[in-house]
Structure 1
């Protein structure tokens, strides 16, 4: 096996027994291969668990995404972002020894800028961001590149990245998009459509050159979801979404092609 060449690395695992067992096996293998464990400033972050574990790791290192590459070990029920199974740890170590930073696979992130209480808060999402009210129907003006598009009434609105199109977006009727399609997707959650209130009532693919702005009516019970994280802001005046060039990098060692991931996750191997 080739040497890890003193690459700095960190492992993040969830609390399942399978993940703890995999960690106990993987840690000495990586140290023996010459990797240096550095939690503060890693070049590589290995997650053990599922997509939730990888999303948590991404947000933990959100300020360092320009210099970190991720790779996931799958120990749960569904791992869309994970490339290795728990019984493929030797293959993982070998792949990390040979991986090259310039060959990393990049997926776009969604930039989310929230204006609230006279302040501005910035987030990034790998999957999606959802704005909804917690107790009543949400009323919200939807702007596309500063032009008013519609007044939405319903449970909420979800804006997703191409990779996030396979997550919550898919469950509410959105389309599955390949990551090379540089666009966001806006999907309605239980919109009200009748003789009085009208919305497009269909998912929208919004090009990278455009932006989405949500301006909700004044209320103090809005919930904003960024991937698996929930935020409650008071006096939200607008939420702006864009693809501004930020991305997450995955180490290219046995990286699974996107459509193969989709087929494996949702259809299985029984295709005839």
Structure 2
């Protein structure tokens, strides 16, 4: 068993072989942001690597264990007494006139324009759905439904459900311009394409990190067959996490 450490961690004793290049298990110490960083670092090993979230902060959907439970986690791994949950990532492709860039998102990809109103033609399964006018759009898999998506009024989706969601930033609605003005949840086989009339001042972020890409003309997104695997407690329930995060500490 080979392991790697990620995050702000010192003086931990893990009785496995250390391998920060190609580990079997990655121990992420921090919150959800740290875990996202760990997943992106080891994105080329997602077929084989599992992630363990050790929460050193206040809240985390991806961090199932507290720092004082580290010995318990190690014992669980040794005895093979844990559950592995696999969640599908979002697969995206950015296009310009001259080149393309593809990648994966755990939480979301956001396309916004802080300077002026965007005009975006939205296609679902290659059929024109609407011409969006507003600040921008966010596409997320279920794992991202409790993140930026929720702040925009999007739906919370159980991550075991295979779906993708399209959520709006500040849509314009008046007697001349109409937008859907609602989160849109699509089935796992659905494909979203966003096409842009203007591509200046567009801000692209993937899992909260700015992505430099000039002269964007199109974004394609779908639910990927690639998954990220988390080691979790046997009794972990998603909606218990939702309740603790947004409703009650109990």
Q: Would the TM-score normalized by the shorter structure come out above 0.5? A: yes
Please tell me whether the aligned partners of residues 168 and 182 of structure 2 are also in contact (alpha carbons under 8 angstroms): yes
Q: Deviations over 1:132-180 (max 9, x none)?
A: 1131111100000100000011111011111210111111111100112
Q: Counterparts of 1:47 and 1:247 in 2: how far apart (Å)?
A: 17
Alpha-carbon shift at residue 228 of structure 1 (Å)? 2.1
Aligned to 1:258: 238
Please tell me whether the aligned partners of residues 142 and 151 of structure 1 are also in contact (alpha carbons under 8 angstroms): yes
TM-score (norm 2): 0.95
Alignment of structure 1 residues 51-62 onto 2, 5 Å: 51-62=32-43
C-alpha root-mean-square deviation of aligned residues, in Å? 1.6
Matched, 1:95 2:76: yes
Mean CA deviation greater in 160-169 or 219-228: 219-228
Please tell me whether the aligned partners of residues 222 and 232 of structure 1 are also in contact (alpha carbons under 8 angstroms): no
Q: Deviations over 1:55-113 (max 9, x none)?
A: 00000111111111001000112111101111111111112212379x52101100011
Alignment of structure 1 residues 178-217 onto 2, 5 Å: 178-217=158-197
Alpha-carbon shift at residue 252 of structure 1 (Å)? 4.0
Aligned to 2:23: 42
Residue among 88, 100, 123 paired with 2:103: 123
Residue among 107, 126, 130 paired with 1:150: 130
Please tell me whether the aligned partners of residues 64 and 232 of structure 2 are also in contact (alpha carbons under 8 angstroms): no
Mean CA deviation greater in 215-224 or 249-258: 249-258
Alpha-carbon shift at residue 225 of structure 1 (Å)? 1.0
Please tell me whether the aligned partners of residues 118 and 198 of structure 2 are also in contact (alpha carbons under 8 angstroms): no
Alignment of structure 1 residues 159-174 onto 2, 5 Å: 159-174=139-154
> Residues 255 and 70 of structure 1: is their aligned pair in 2 closer, same or farther, counting only changes over 3 Å?
farther
Considering fraction of residues, name the structure with more helix. Answer: 1
Q: Counterparts of 1:160 and 1:202 in 2: how far apart (Å)?
A: 14
Runs of 4+ in 1 over 6 A off after TM superposition: none
Matched, 1:67 2:48: yes
Residue among 52, 57, 62 paired with 1:81: 62
Please tell me whether the aligned partners of residues 96 and 253 of structure 1 are also in contact (alpha carbons under 8 angstroms): no
Alpha-carbon shift at residue 244 of structure 1 (Å)? 2.6
Gap regions ≥5 residues in structure 1: 1-6, 15-19
Residue among 139, 143, 156 paired with 1:176: 156
- Secondary structure of the residue that 1:78 maps to in structure 2? coil
Mean CA deviation greater in 217-226 or 48-57: 217-226
Gap regions ≥5 residues in structure 2: none
